[in-house]
Amino acid sequence: PQGIGSPSVYHAVIVIFLEFFAWGLLTAPTLVVLHETFPKHTFLMNGLIQGVKGLLSFLSAPLIGALSDVWGRKSFLLLTVFFTCAPIPLMKISPWWYFAVISVSGVFAVTFSVVFAYVADITQEHERSMAYGLVSATFAASLVTSPAIGAYLGRVYGDSLVVVLATAIALLDICFILVAVPESLPEKMRPASWGAPISWEQADPFASLKKVGQDSIVLLICITVFLSYLPEAGQYSSFFLYLRQIMGFSSESVAAFIAVLGILSIIAQTIVLSLLMRSIGNKNTILLGLGFQILQLAWYGFGSEPWMMWAAGAVAAMSSITFPAVSALVSRTADADQQGVVQGMITGIRGLCNGLGPALYGFIFYIFHVELNELPMSESSSGGSVVAQYHLQQNSIIPGPPFLFGACSVLLALLVALFIPEHTTLNVRSSNWKKHCGSHGHPHSPQAPGEAKEPLLQDTNV
């Protein structure tokens, strides 16, 4: 009875858009506050903050998902959005508390998990892939537009106005959930489960990872995902800070970079991915995506000029085809009753990377002494000269050592992926093998329910 109208995908889309639009506005101000708060070990502290947040999200996601199956989705949508957006007003009140609350908010920073469950409640199986695609596209659209708006407003009116606007949009999102979003979990399902105990297996974040070794093909796929997504997760957490402070990008340039990369990634994950899957097959598409990722990371690692970052960004858009292709491979080759199990393993691996990647990147920046000590604290209009002075003082052959490490990690992923057969049947538990004659005729089957296309940027404020 609560909410406006019947539960629909559009309710979920609005919730996602408002939350990440609010955080996107803060992209440029956060980079400045991060450097001012931690001037000596900026990259290390950024990695630790995002690493703690990612690990807490990985540990709490299964429990929150299991509880939402019992208590309904609406209350947990409200909980996750509230705690994810709670740090926003603290940016101007107390930067130390701002970053501390961001770390702790990882416990509830799993809005996507609850939104996907909400969508699953109200869609048929054949509609789910399109619905998840709509949610992911909305996520990308919010982050394509909001950083540029935030950078412009910050330059003209100051960062305080941007923080107030982001806080207002977050409050609007919370009010929208309270007033307009109806519960998606049917009432008839909840009384039967109300008060039912939550098993440890449901809440155990490592439950899916324990099944990885039961099939050699699953093991190869999971190793490939781990080695390729670990550097990607670290890159998402630190790359815009790297552009802003090391490469001398202005706030507007960072916002434009995000927008261009987002648009190119959407094209790559739709039109280009479909063409590649039809022409060269599923496995070769994965290998091609990993090849683009190696080139992109190596370019980021050795690049010392802004134009190199732009060129590598175009390659990064092409590398975004890897994970949808992996999901399609798993969807095609797993039995119908094993889809959730195998997709759960991959999601678990990626969740673990979201915690380990940022911490790893921050640590590598730290041990290679890529610090911001030499840069002035104030804004500089001559970004190029600042970068030149920085590199003269740094005397470093490799400007971005973590990106080069990431390229080596993805190279290992490429070597592992070579051993993944194009056509096989995954058997991750002791059940009878089933024929998949029809699946081989569809080289670009949609992703399995429960796993959407990877959004351009992760659930992160940087």
The predicted structure's pLDDT at residue 390 = 43
pLDDT in tens, 201-259: 666 777 777 777 777 888 888 899 899 999 988 888 788 888 877 788 887 888 888 88
Residues 134 and 1 in one domain: yes
Residues 137 and 217 in one domain: no
CATH of the domain at 262: 1.20.1250.20
Residues 18 and 117 in one domain: yes
CA distance 18 to 26: 13
Pick from 279, 305, 276: which is nearest to 291 by CA? 276
The predicted structure's pLDDT at residue 317 = 83
Amino acid letter for position 67: L
The predicted structure's pLDDT at residue 228 = 92
3-state secondary structure 36-49: HHCCCCHHHHHHHH
Helix ranges restricted to H, 72-124: 73-85, 90-93, 95-104, 111-122
Pick from 287, 352, 359: which is nearest to 326 by CA? 287
Residues 255 and 338 in one domain: yes
Residues 285 and 413 in one domain: yes
Residues 155 and 251 in one domain: no
Residues 86 and 21 in one domain: yes
- Write out the residue range of the structural domain in which residue 123 sits: 1-185
Higher pLDDT, 92 or 168: 168
**For residues 347-371, average pLDDT:** 81
Q: Which two tokens stand for residue 318?
A: 């092409």
Residues 140 and 262 in one domain: no
Environment class of residue 444 by beta-carbon count within 10 Å: exposed (0-12), middle (13-18) or buried (19+)?
A: middle
**What share of the chain in percent tops pLDDT 90?**
14
Name, in order, each residue with C-beta under 8 angstroms of 435's C-beta and a sequence gap of 6 or more.
none
Mean pLDDT of the chain: 77
Pick from 26, 23, 37: which is nearest to 154 by CA? 26
Cβ pair 302, 259 in contact under 8 A:
no
309 located within any domain: yes
DSSP state of 210: G
Helix ranges restricted to H, 106-209: 111-122, 125-157, 159-179, 189-193, 200-203
The pTM score is 0.72
24 located within any domain: yes
Last residue of a domain, one of 185, 219, 238: 185
Residues 234 and 322 in one domain: yes
Dihedral pair phi/psi, residue 159, rounded to 5°? -70, -25
Residues 179 and 223 in one domain: no
Q: How many CB atoms lie within 10 A of CB 32?
A: 18
Residues 245 and 135 in one domain: no
Q: How many domains, the chain?
A: 2
Helix ranges restricted to H, 216-250: 216-245
Name, in order, each residue with C-beta under 8 angstroms of 391's C-beta and a sequence gap of 6 or more.
304, 399
